[in-house]
Amino acid sequence: MNSLSTETSENIISVWLHSEHLEDAKLIPVSLFPSPYDAIAKDIRSGSNLAKLMKRHGMPIINQLLTSYYPALYQQSVQELLKEQMYRGLPENATPQELLEHAAKYVRQWSQPPQRVDLTEGYVETMAKRREQKPIYTGIATVDEYTHGIYPGQLTIVGARPSVGKSAFCLQVAFDVAQKGNKVLFLPLEMSAAETVDRIVMRYSKNGLAYADLRRGILEGGKWDSANETMDIIYRLRDNFIVYENVREIDAIEELVSRENPDLIVIDQLSQIRSGNEYKTLREQYVEVTRRLKAMALKEDVAVWLPCQMNRESSKTGAVSIDYLKESGSIEEDADIVLILSNKKDEEGNYVVNMDGREVTLEIAKNRQGRCGKESLTFIGPRFTFRSHEKHPDGFEPVPEQQQIPF
């Protein structure tokens, strides 16, 4: 094996002087370093501290080595050295277990060094990719107006107090996106798969099926035929709308996304997601979960929708704001889009209803790539369905909302 160059020697020893990768100092032969670096490497290998090294070799050369600290170059400097030493030191007549233990001493999980980005060439490639992408729309015109659709890499938070309809809202979006030919993973952590199907059947059935009938399993007067028609739709979408029950661990969610490669994943909801780590506070847990979901969205090129609850204070004050999301700090930081749903109330505190259903305020509270604002939706409770009000700015042509609902 050839001796190391002066530059490589300085880089390796500098990293060791900063007390990093000292396990390598015992594996790389001192004889590979030119003088005087061989003597310094020998002393480091024997455990000499910085004060002893300065006393023995002089402050000028040690200070010079300390300023040669480039961790990103260290990997390139030693990975081939370690590989050669691993093969040179293979024990004779070793058992498979002994060979594995020997190799483990030399194996390193290196992080990739940062790469400089060519802005112009990279942007041209990005624009070409965008032209090939088909837009994914939610099917709710008001939402699509503000967000311009669903894009891979985005984390969208849907916040509301209980019983406002955030789960119904997200299920509606998920199923409509699947109907347009996209692959969707839906993880209902607060409902069973059967309850998920109940809501889809109630939305699409022609005869207005009631939940009480579905819960008892008693359908009369042609209602079975209506339910079966919806079941046919669900069956045809079995490769596009995919449901897993009780997938609560963030590691399992990441594995599912990597395996299924969906266009959109909806996880209902944040408070039910778990990690193997222990946390002192709920905030710490949410910080890890939302950051890992955002990282997953970017890595797997998938859109993530995540319903979560508003704090109780929002009910006491009557206010609706991003500040009332539970542990809102980490959620607000990691999310690309935050949608907040709240019931409209009159001056006496009663729900506002129109001829179709309950009126709900949709606030686009955060939107990294667009504007924010407030709009009105109608929630048709018996159908678990949200509809936009017909109000859009000039020049906006919303994607038609779901036409299969027979009202």
Please give the average per-residue pLDDT across 278-302, as a whole number: 88
pLDDT digits (tens, 9 = 90+) for 357-392: 899 999 999 999 889 999 999 999 888 899 997 654
Please give the average per-residue pLDDT across 12-33, as a whole number: 91
Whether the Cβ atoms of residue 290 and residue 335 lie closer than 8 Å to each other: yes
Region of 247 on the Ramachandran plot (φ > 0 left; ψ -120 to 50 alpha; else beta): beta
Between 243 and 275, name the one with better pLDDT. Answer: 243
Q: Which pLDDT band, with edges at 50, 70 and 90, does 206 fall under? A: confident
Q: Is residue 125 exposed (0-12), middle (13-18) or buried (19+ Cβ within 10 Å)?
A: exposed
Q: Which residues on adjacent β-strands are paired with residue 364?
A: 339, 373
Distance CA 143, CA 135 (A): 14
Please give the average per-residue pLDDT across 5-17, as a whole number: 91
Q: Which residues on adjacent β-strands are paired with residue 241?
A: 184
Q: Which pLDDT band, with edges at 50, 70 and 90, does 318 fall under? A: low
Helix/strand number for the chain, H first, E second? 17, 9
Residue 400: the pLDDT is 53
Q: Give the lowest-confidence range in 43-52, 230-239, 276-285.
A: 276-285
pLDDT digits (tens, 9 = 90+) for 71-100: 878 888 888 888 888 888 888 888 888 888
Give the pairing of strands 184-188 and 241-243: parallel
| 397: pLDDT strictly greater than 90 | no
Between 279 and 393, name the one with better pLDDT. Answer: 279
Residue from 179, 90, 92, 101 nearest 139 by CA: 179
| 287: pLDDT strictly greater than 60 | yes
Q: Which pLDDT band, with edges at 50, 70 and 90, does 395 fall under? A: very low
Residue 329: the pLDDT is 61
pLDDT digits (tens, 9 = 90+) for 212-223: 878 888 887 778
Distance CA 186, CA 321 (A): 27
SS3 306: strand
Q: Which pLDDT band, with edges at 50, 70 and 90, does 321 fall under? A: low
8-state DSSP, 272? G
Q: Give 205-224 as a DSSP string.
A: -TT---HHHHHHT---TTHH
Domain 135-388 has what CATH class? Answer: alpha beta
| 398: pLDDT strictly greater than 60 | no
| 405: pLDDT strictly greater than 70 | no
Average pLDDT, the chain: 85
Domain ranges for the chain = 6-104, 135-388
Kindly report the number of other CB atoms within 10 A of residue 226's CB atom: 19
